[in-house]
Amino acid sequence: MYEGVVQDLIDELGRLPGVGPKSAQRIAFHLLASDPQDIGRLREVLGKVAEGVRFCEICGNVSEGERCRICNDVRRDATSVCVVEEPKDVLAVERTREFRGRYHVLGGALDPLSGVGPDQLRIKELLMRIGSEEITEVIIATDPNTEGEATATYLVRMLRDFPGLTVTRLASGLPMGGDLEFADELTLGRALSGRRAL
C-alpha cells in the first residue's frame, strides 16, 4: 500500500476493465513521471467525457453532434443497416471496408444474468427506424457468443413481419464464443460478404 493519493490513483485505475493490480501500479507511476502538459490533456478529455458523451440520435453510436458522421454521410447506402452490440463493433466493421450502409447500435446484448432484456437495448428504436426509413436490408452482426446469438434470434423474430425486409446474419467463420471486436479484418470481412439470409 502506498500513501494517500497515489494509492487512490492505483485503486481507481485497477477498477478499469483489463487492468490488473500490477498494470494499475505501472500506469500510476508512469503518470506520476509524466509531463504536466500530458496530464493536462488527459484531464481535459476525462472532463469532457464526464460532462456527457453524446450518442447519435439515429444509430446510437458515439457522436460529436446530434448525428454521427456515418448517418450524416449521404454517400452511404441508406437502405442497408448493420446491427451491432457496441460502438466498438462499428469500428470493427468499418475497418473491413466491406460495408457501405449505416449502423444501429443496440447498446449490448440480451443477458438475463446481468438483468439485460429487450427493454434495456435499443430495439424499439430499430423497429421505428425500419418502419419510417427506406431500409430494405438488416444485417445482424451481434457477437458470435451465447448472448449475441440469442439477441440475433430475438431480432429475427421481431423483424420477420416487416414486408420486403431482408434479414441476414453474419456468416459463420467467426470463432464461436468470440467477440466481434477481436475478429481480424479478413475474417470479419469474409463473414460480411458471406452473410446468410434467415
Partner 1 sequence: MYIRHLQVTDFRSWDHVDVPLEPGPTVLVGQNGRGKTNLLEAIGYVATLSSHRVATDAPLVRQGCERALVRTAVVNEDRELTVELEIAAGRANRARVNRGAVGRPRDVLGILRTVLFSPEDLALVRGDPGERRKFLDELLVQRAPRYAGVRSDYDKVLKQRNALLKSAGKKRGDDPYAASTLDVWDDHLAKAGAQLLAARLNLVADLAPHTGEAYAGVAPDSRPARIAYRSSLGEALPEGYGEPGGERADPERLAEVLRVALGESRAAELERGVSLVGPHRDELDLVLGDTPAKGYASHGESWSFALALRLGSYELLRGEAGGEPVLMLDDVFAELDKRRRARLAEVALGAEQVLVTAAVDEDVPAELTGVRFAVAEGEVTRD
Contact criterion met (CB below 8 Å) for 18 and 29: no
Residue 27 near which of partner 1, Zn ion, none (CB within 5-8 Å, type-dependent)? none
Residues in the site for partner 1, rule: CB under 8 A?
110-113, 115, 117-119, 145-147, 149-150, 153-154, 157, 175-177
**Contact indicator for 183, 192 with CB cutoff of 8 Å:** no
Contact flags string 51-70 toward Zn ion, x per CB under 5 A: -----x-xx-x------x--
CA dist., res. 36 & res. 167, Å (int):
52
**Distance in Å, CB of 154 to partner 1, minimum:** 5
Residues of the chain by 3-state class (helix, strand, coil), percent to 5 = 50, 15, 40
Contact of residue 56 among partner 1, Zn ion, none (CB under 5-8 Å per partner type): Zn ion
Check if the beta carbon of residue 138 is closer than 8 Å to that of residue 83. Answer: yes
Residue 184: CB atoms within 10 Å = 11
Amino acid code (one letter) for 49: V
Give yes or no for a contact between 64 and 73, defined as CB atoms under 8 angstroms apart.
no
The mark string for 19-58 relative to Zn ion (x by CB under 5 A, - otherwise) is -------------------------------------x-x
Answer with the entry of Zn ion, partner 1, none that 149 interacts with (C-beta below 5 to 8 A by kind). Answer: partner 1
Angle, to 10 degrees, between the axis of helix 146-159 and the axis of helix 123-132? 40
| Least gap, CB of 190 to partner 1 (angstroms) | 17
CB-nearer residue toward Zn ion: 68 or 174: 68
Among partner 1, Zn ion, none, the one that 146 touches (CB under a kind-dependent 5 to 8 A) is partner 1
Q: Which is nearer to partner 1, 59 or 110 (CB)?
A: 110
* Longest CA–CA separation in the chain, Å: 65
Q: Which residues bind Zn ion (CB under 5 A)?
A: 56, 58-59, 61, 68, 71
